[in-house]
Structure 1
Amino acid sequence: MKRRAFLRTGGAAGFAAVSGPTVASRSRGAATGHQRGYEPLGRLPITGAAEAVVGDGSETAYVAATTGFATVDVSDPAEPTLLAEKRDLELAGESLTQILDVAVDGDRLAVVGPANPNFAVNGFRLYDVSDPANPVPTGEFETSYHIHNCYLEGDLLFVVANEQGANPLVIFDVGGGEITQLGYWSLLEREPGWGEVGMLARYLHDVYVQDDIAYLAHWNPGTYLIDVSDPTEPTYVSHVRDTTLEEQRSIADWREAAYGLPGNDHYAAVDETGDLMAVGREAWTTGGAAPNRPGGIDLYDVSDPTEPIHRGSIHAPRTVDETYQSGLWTTAHNFELHGGRLYSAWYRAGVQIHDVSDPANPDRLAWWRDPAETGFWTARVAARGEYFVAPSTEAIPGTDLEGALYTFPAEAGEQADPPSLRDPDWLAADEGTNATNGTGGDSGDGAGDGSDGGGGSDAGGDSIPGFTASAGLAGGALALEWLRRRGGNVQD
Structure 2
Amino acid sequence: MRSEQRPPNARRRALAAAGALLLGASLMTATAAVAEDDPRVDLPAGYLDAEVATSNIDLLSSTPRVDPFNAPPGDFGFVNSDLAFSGDNAIVGNFNGFQVYDVSDPAEPTLRSSFVCPGGQGDVSVYGDLLFMSVEETRGRIDCGTQGAPGSVNPERFRGVRIFDISDIDNPVQLPGVQTCRGSHTHTLVSDPNDAENVYIYNSGTSGVRSPLELAGCENAPASTEPVTTGNPTQWRIDVIKVPLAAPETAAIVNQPRIFADPETGAFNGLQNGPTQPLHPSGTRYSPNPNTNTCHDITAYPEIGLAAGACQGNGILLDISDPADPVRIDAVADPNFSYWHSATFNNDGTKVIFTDEWGGGTAARCRSTDQPEWGADALFDIVDGKLQFASYYKLPVPQTTQENCVAHNGSLIPVPGRDIMVQAWYQGGLSVIDFTDTANPKEIAFLDRGPINTPSTTGLNLGGYWSTYWYNGNVLGSEIARGFDTMALTASDDLSANEIEAAGEVRFDEFNAQLQTGAVHAPSFAVAGAYVDQAERDGSLSGEALAEVREHLAEAEQLADGSAADRAVVAQLVNAARKSGLAADSDVVQALTALTATFR
% identical equivalent positions:
21
After superposition, give the CA deviation of every residue in 1:339-396 in whole Å (9 maximum; x if it has no partner). 221100111111111122222222211111012246111111111xx111112113xx
Give me the whole-angstrom Cα distance separating, in 1, the residues matched to 2:317 and 2:391: 19
After superposition, give the CA deviation of every residue in 1:395-423 in whole Å (9 maximum; x if it has no partner). xxxxxxxx2100111x343599x9xxxxx
Match of 1:170 in 2: 239
Letter of the 2:386 counterpart: E
Match of 1:328 in 2: 403
Q: Which runs of 5+ in 1 are unaligned?
A: 4-27, 90-95, 244-260, 395-402, 419-492
Q: 1:273 to 1:37 in 2, by over 3 A?
A: closer
Match of 1:380 in 2: 469
Greater C-alpha Rg: 2
Q: 1:272 to 1:216 in 2, by over 3 A?
A: same
Letter of the 1:240 counterpart: V
Q: Is the 8 A contact 1:184 1:234 kept in 2?
A: no
Shift of 1:337: 2.0
Give me the whole-angstrom Cα distance separating, in 1, the residues matched to 2:79 and 2:106: 17
Shift of 1:116: 7.6
Give me the whole-angstrom Cα distance separating, in 2, the residues matched to 1:275 and 1:196: 29
After superposition, give the CA deviation of every residue in 1:117-151 in whole Å (9 maximum; x if it has no partner). 97943122212223433323233222222211001
Shift of 1:110: 0.6
Per the alignment, in what secondary structure is the counterpart of residue 349 of structure 2?
coil
Q: 1:103 to 1:207 in 2, by over 3 A?
A: same
Match of 2:30 in 1: none
2:379 is aligned, of 288, 291, 299, to 299
TM-score, normalised with respect to structure 1: 0.64
Give me the whole-angstrom Cα distance separating, in 1, the residues matched to 2:205 and 2:464: 28
1:77 is aligned, of 77, 81, 106, to 106
Q: Is the aligned partner of 1:216 residue 2:238?
A: no
Give me the whole-angstrom Cα distance separating, in 2, the residues matched to 1:101 and 1:55: 12
2:297 is aligned, of 198, 203, 206, to 206
Q: Which aligned pairs between 1:142-153 and structure 2 lie closer than 5 A?
A: 142-153=179-190
Q: Is the aligned partner of 1:53 residue 2:83?
A: yes
Per the alignment, in what secondary structure is the counterpart of residue 35 of structure 1?
strand
Give me the whole-angstrom Cα distance separating, in 2, the residues matched to 1:262 and 1:151: 23
Q: Which runs of 5+ in 2 are unaligned?
A: 4-41, 46-50, 71-77, 140-151, 192-198, 210-219, 222-234, 276-287, 360-364, 453-462, 497-600
Aligned length: 351
Q: Is the aligned partner of 1:125 residue 2:162?
A: yes
Q: 1:141 to 1:229 in 2, by over 3 A?
A: same
Give me the whole-angstrom Cα distance separating, in 2, the residues matched to 1:365 and 1:40: 16
Match of 2:134 in 1: 112
Give me the whole-angstrom Cα distance separating, in 2, the residues matched to 1:331 and 1:81: 30
Per the alignment, in what secondary structure is the counterpart of residue 407 of structure 1?
strand
Q: Is the 8 A contact 1:182 1:231 kept in 2?
A: no
Give me the whole-angstrom Cα distance separating, in 2, the residues matched to 1:74 and 1:303: 39
After superposition, give the CA deviation of every residue in 1:221-275 in whole Å (9 maximum; x if it has no partner). x1111222224432111122213xxxxxxxxxxxxxxxxx334211112133222
Runs of 4+ in 1 over 6 A off after TM superposition: 116-119
After superposition, give the CA deviation of every residue in 1:142-177 in whole Å (9 maximum; x if it has no partner). 222221100123411110134453132211111135
Q: Is the 8 A contact 1:318 1:330 kept in 2?
A: no
User: Structure 1 residues 102-111 or 310-319, which shifts more?
Assistant: 310-319
Q: Is the 8 A contact 1:316 1:330 kept in 2?
A: no
Q: Is the aligned partner of 1:40 residue 2:70?
A: no
Letter of the 1:366 counterpart: A
Q: Which aligned pairs between 1:311-322 and structure 2 lie closer than 5 A?
A: 311-317=390-396, 319=398
Q: Is the 8 A contact 1:60 1:132 kept in 2?
A: no
After superposition, give the CA deviation of every residue in 1:301-320 in whole Å (9 maximum; x if it has no partner). 2264x212223321134547
Shift of 1:194: 4.6
After superposition, give the CA deviation of every residue in 1:276-323 in whole Å (9 maximum; x if it has no partner). 211011125699x9958741112222264x2122233211345476xx
Letter of the 1:109 counterpart: L
Letter of the 2:120 counterpart: Q
Per the alignment, in what secondary structure is the counterpart of residue 330 of structure 1?
coil
Give me the whole-angstrom Cα distance separating, in 2, the residues matched to 1:43 and 1:209: 31
Note the aligned Cα RMSD (angstroms).
Answer: 3.4
Match of 2:575 in 1: none
Give me the whole-angstrom Cα distance separating, in 2, the residues matched to 1:180 and 1:42: 40
Letter of the 1:171 counterpart: V
Shift of 1:41: 0.9
1:309 is aligned, of 379, 388, 401, to 388
Q: 1:105 to 1:276 in 2, by over 3 A?
A: farther
Q: Is the 8 A contact 1:365 1:412 kept in 2?
A: no
User: Structure 1 residues 342-351 or 163-172, which shifts more?
Assistant: 163-172
Give me the whole-angstrom Cα distance separating, in 2, the residues matched to 1:101 and 1:331: 19
Match of 2:517 in 1: none
Q: Is the aligned partner of 1:157 residue 2:179?
A: no
Shift of 1:182: 1.6
Per the alignment, in what secondary structure is the counterpart of residue 365 of structure 1?
strand
Match of 1:247 in 2: none
1:357 is aligned, of 420, 423, 436, to 436
Q: 1:107 to 1:286 in 2, by over 3 A?
A: closer
Q: 1:286 to 1:318 in 2, by over 3 A?
A: closer
TM-score, normalised with respect to structure 2: 0.53
